[in-house]
Amino acid sequence: MFINMKKILFVKIFLIITISYNFGQQNYLFSGLILDSSDETPLPFCNVYVENTSVGTISNNEGKFRIAIPLKTSQNLCVSFIGYKTKKIPIANLKNNDNIIYLEKDLININEVIIIPDSTLLGLLRKAYRSIEKNYPNEPTKLVGFYRETKLTDKDENLYFLEAILNVYKKSYQVTNDQGQIEVIESRKKVFPISKDVNNVQFYAGAFIPIRADIVKTEYEFIDPKHFKKYSYSLSNTFKQDDRIIYEISFDTKNDSLKGIYKGKFFLDKESLAYIKCEGTSTERGIKEYNSSNFTSYKGVERNFFVQYFFFNGKWHLKYCKLFGKGINTKYDSKLKYVDEFLTTEVLTDTIEPVPYEKRLGYYDIFLDKALPYSETDWKDYNIIKASDDLLFSIDQSKKVFEENIVLKKENKIITFIKHFSFTYGLIVFENKIPGGDYQILLDNSTLNQNLKTKEYLIGLDATIAYNFNKNLSIKYSICSSLDKNIHYESNGIGIGYLKNIKPKGKPLLLKLDLFGYLDYYGIVFDKVLKNIEYNNEFISKSKMETSIDKISYGIKPRLSLSYQITKFTNLYIYASYNLNLSEEYIIKFKEESGLFKKTYNENIIDGTVNYNGTGLNESNIDMNPLILGIGFNFGFN
C-alpha cells in the first residue's frame, strides 16, 4: 500500500514537534488556525509561542497549529509573522480546539520606505555580517526540538520517514567550523515496500540539520563579505512587524554568470541587522558542485532551504529549518524527493553542558538504521506542527502503517558494517639497545659479516585496523615495523580497546586503553645476500636469501593513548606502549629476497656460529627497550 506524501508527511498523529517546556508537568493541548484578517488567507510558518519563554511551535502550510502548554499559567500565547502585528491572547481565554486567530497587516508608512544604492547596500550587508557576534549567542546553547526526515518518489509514494526528538548542543556563533552535538531522546521510523525497488542510497547527517541549515552559524557564502563578488544583491521589499522595520534582500548569480552557488532572499532587522529569515535554492553551479563531490548513485536535481529565527533573551536563535529537493537514483533511473525538517521548541542558555560522548549521534551515522521501529507512544508530552485534516491518521491506522515489517536492503547493512571500522597510521620511536660493532655468522659454506653503527633511537611505522562495537569498545589488529636498514623490528598484535571522552566541552579528547597480545621480531639484518645457503649441516635454499639474527618475543602489551578530533574523519593521536614478554627465543632467520610470497626459514643458533667483535654473541645484546612512543592519525566515521 502506498500512502501519498501528504498522507505521511507524517502519519503523525502528531507532526513536527517540540519538547514541552516543563517536561514533567501535565500539559493542556490547544489547536487552531491563523488567518490574515483582511482576506482570511491562511498564514504558514507563523511563530506560535508562550510569551517570555522559548516554548512554542509554528503553523503548518495551511496556517494550522497545535501547542502543548503547562496546566497552570497566566501568560499569553503570542503569534507573530513578518509584515503583521503580533497578536497576544491570554492562554486562559483559549479553547482546546478550533481557535481562530486573525493577524492584522502592519502597514509601512511611505516615510519609512527606504531606497538603498547598491554600494550602500553592500556596506549594510558587511555591517550585518560583523553584527553576528552581538545578535546571536556567544555562549553554548542547547536546542530541544523535533526532527523529521522523509524520502519519497516523484509521485509522492513514500520510501521511508522517521521522526525524532533531539537535544542539539551548539557552540558560540563565533565558532563556525562546529558540526554540533546531537543526542536522540526519542525516535521512530517507517520503511515502505517500494523503497527496496527504487533506491539503494542512504543519507547521513540529516539530524545535524540544526547546524547544517543554520545560514548564520555555518556562514553560508552569500552572507560572507569574502564572497560578495559572486552575487548580485538588491533591496526587494520592506516590511514592518510591530516596531521593527525588516529589509528583504534578494540575491542571485545573474543566470550563473557569477560564481555563487545559491540564489534566494533573506530578511534583515533594520535596527540590529540580524538575519531573521532566509529561503533559497542551489544554482546550476551549486548542483554541479554537490554532484561532483557525491560518489553515490544519487544525483541532485534541485536543492532548496528555508530557515527562520526567533528573538529570545536578547539573542536570535534558530526556530525552524527545512532542506528539501529532488534527485535521481541513476542505478534505478528513479526520481526521488527528500524533506528534512527541524523545529526548535525550547532553548536552554544557562550552564549548558555538552552531550556526553557516549550519547552523541555520529555525523556519518545513518539515522534510518539507528531509529527505533514505531511504538505505541503518542509522544503526548510534546508540541506539534498540526497536520491538515487529511493527514491525520487514527491511532489504529497509524499503528497499522508503522507495524508492517520491511527489511532494509542488504547494501545498507554492508555500509553500516564498514562504518564500524577505523584505521590508524603513524610513526613510532623507541630506544635501541643493540650496540654498534662487528657481527658475524659462520655458515657451513660461507661467512656473513656486518659492521653495525651505534644508533640510540629507532623510528618506524605503525598501522592499526579496528572494528568498533560502539563508541567505547573495539577489537584491533596492529602491525609495526622499523625503518632502519640493518636493525629490524616487526610486531604483530591482536587486542581489545576501550575509550572514554575526558573533554566533554568542544571536540572530544579521547583517552584510549588497549591491551594487545603480540609476536615481535627484533634483531640485526646483514647487508649481504647469499644463495645456496647451508647451516648446521642443513641445506636451506637455492634462492637468494636475506639473513638476520632475531629475538622472537611473545607477550602482552598495554597501550595508553590520547586522541583529539581535528576533522569529521580524522583524529590526531599520541600513545605509549610497554612490552611485557612472556616467552622469547633467539634465532637466525633466512628470508627470500624477492617474490610475492617470500619464504622464511628460522634456525636455532648453534654455539660458536654467531660472534660479536670476535667473541661469541651475548644474546642480551639484542634485547630491546620495552617502551614505545607513537604519534599519528586515526581515520574513521566519527
Cα atoms in the 13 Å half-sphere on the side-chain side of 161: 30
Is there a single domain that holds both residue 628 and residue 554? yes
Q: Compute the distance between CA of residue 81 and CA of residue 380 in angstroms, rounded to an integer.
A: 27
Is there a single domain that holds both residue 359 and residue 427? no
Kindly state whether residue 7 falls inside one of the protein's structural domains: no
Among the candidates 375, 409, 429, a domain finishes at 375
Is there a single domain that holds both residue 330 and residue 245? yes
What pLDDT is recorded for position 92? 87
Q: Compute the distance between CA of residue 180 and CA of residue 208 in angstroms, rounded to an integer.
A: 7
3-class secondary-structure state, position 205? coil
Is there a single domain that holds both residue 134 and residue 245? yes
- H-helix or E-strand spanning residue 75: none
The three grid cell numbers given for residue 180, joined into one nine-digit string = 554540533
Residues 6+ apart with CB under 8 A from 442: 608, 609, 610, 611
The count of other CB atoms within 10 Å of the CB of residue 332 is: 14
Closest CA to 140 of 321, 358, 350, 316: 350
Where are any strands of DSSP class E within 242-333?
Answer: 244-252, 262-269, 275-282, 298-312, 315-329
Q: Compute the distance between CA of residue 270 and CA of residue 108 in angstroms, rounded to an integer.
A: 13
Q: What DSSP line would sit under 135-193, residue for residue?
A: HS-SS-EEEEEEEEEEEEETT-BEEEEEEEEEEEEE--TT--S---EEEEEEEEEEE-T
Note the pLDDT tens digit of each residue in 432-488.
999 999 999 999 999 999 999 999 999 999 999 999 998 889 999 999 999 999 999
Is there a single domain that holds both residue 285 and residue 425? no
Is there a single domain that holds both residue 159 and residue 213? yes
Q: What is the CATH number of the domain that holds 619?
A: 2.40.160.20
The three grid cell numbers given for residue 117, joined into one nine-digit string = 544604492
What pLDDT is recorded for position 200? 67
What pLDDT is recorded for position 231? 95
The three grid cell numbers given for residue 570, joined into one nine-digit string = 580524522
Q: Compute the distance between CA of residue 630 and CA of residue 462 in angstroms, rounded to an integer.
A: 8
Q: Compute the distance between CA of residue 505 and CA of residue 553 in angstroms, rounded to an integer.
A: 42
The count of other CB atoms within 10 Å of the CB of residue 583 is: 8
Angle at 38 between CA 16 and CA 50, to 5 degrees: 35
What pLDDT is recorded for position 59? 85
Is there a single domain that holds both residue 367 and residue 425? no
Is there a single domain that holds both residue 497 and residue 580? yes
Q: In 11-48, which positions are buried (b, 16+ CB within 10 angstroms) versus exposed (e)?
A: bbbbbbbbbbbbeeeebeebbbbbbbeeeeeebebbbb
What pLDDT is recorded for position 13? 31
Is there a single domain that holds both residue 425 and residue 539? yes
Q: Compute the distance between CA of residue 440 and CA of residue 449 in angstroms, rounded to an integer.
A: 5
Kindly state whether residue 449 falls inside one of the protein's structural domains: yes
Q: Mean pLDDT for each consecutive 10-residue tract of the chain (638 residues)?
A: 37 35 57 92 89 83 82 80 90 89 78 57 94 94 89 82 88 85 86 68 84 94 95 90 88 89 95 95 93 84 95 93 91 86 89 86 80 58 44 38 47 70 94 92 92 93 94 94 93 94 78 96 93 89 90 95 85 95 92 83 90 87 89 86
Closest CA to 268 of 206, 334, 316: 316
Kindly state whether residue 524 falls inside one of the protein's structural domains: yes
Kindly state whether residue 409 falls inside one of the protein's structural domains: no
What pLDDT is recorded for position 97? 87
Q: Compute the distance between CA of residue 399 and CA of residue 376 in angstroms, rounded to an integer.
A: 7
Is there a single domain that holds both residue 205 and residue 340? yes
Closest CA to 46 of 38, 448, 36: 36
Kindly state whether residue 256 falls inside one of the protein's structural domains: yes
- Do 455 and 432 meet the contact criterion of CB atoms below 8 Å apart? yes
Kindly state whether residue 562 falls inside one of the protein's structural domains: yes
What pLDDT is recorded for position 410? 43
Angle at 114 between CA 110 and CA 116, to 5 degrees: 155
Q: Compute the distance between CA of residue 318 and CA of residue 309 in angstroms, rounded to an integer.
A: 4
Is there a single domain that holds both residue 508 and residue 364? no
The count of other CB atoms within 10 Å of the CB of residue 515 is: 14
Residue 387 vs residues 1, 13, 87, 137, 392: alpha-carbon distances, Å: 21, 8, 22, 32, 6
What pLDDT is recorded for position 449? 94
Note the pLDDT tens digit of each residue in 169-202.
999 998 887 788 999 988 888 777 666 666 667 7
Is there a single domain that holds both residue 425 and residue 371? no
Kindly state whether residue 602 falls inside one of the protein's structural domains: yes
Among the candidates 375, 398, 428, a domain finishes at 375
The dihedral formed by the CA atoms of 279, 172, 20 and 181, expressed in degrees to the nearest 10: 90
- Do 139 and 349 meet the contact criterion of CB atoms below 8 Å apart? yes
- Do 638 and 364 meet the contact criterion of CB atoms below 8 Å apart? yes
The three grid cell numbers given for residue 319, joined into one nine-digit string = 526556530
Q: What DSSP line would sit under 319-377, residue for residue?
A: EEEEEEEEEEETTTTEEEEEEEEEEEEEEE-SS--PPPGGGBPPTT--HHHHSPBP-S-
The count of other CB atoms within 10 Å of the CB of residue 239 is: 19
Q: In the block, which residue shows the cell 545513518? A: 366
**What's the chain's Rg over C-alpha atoms?**
33
Kindly state whether residue 46 falls inside one of the protein's structural domains: no
Query: What domain range includes position 572?
Result: 420-636
- Do 459 and 482 meet the contact criterion of CB atoms below 8 Å apart? yes
- Do 51 and 413 meet the contact criterion of CB atoms below 8 Å apart? no
Total domains in the fold of the chain? 2
- Do 196 and 409 meet the contact criterion of CB atoms below 8 Å apart? yes
Among the candidates 354, 375, 396, a domain finishes at 375
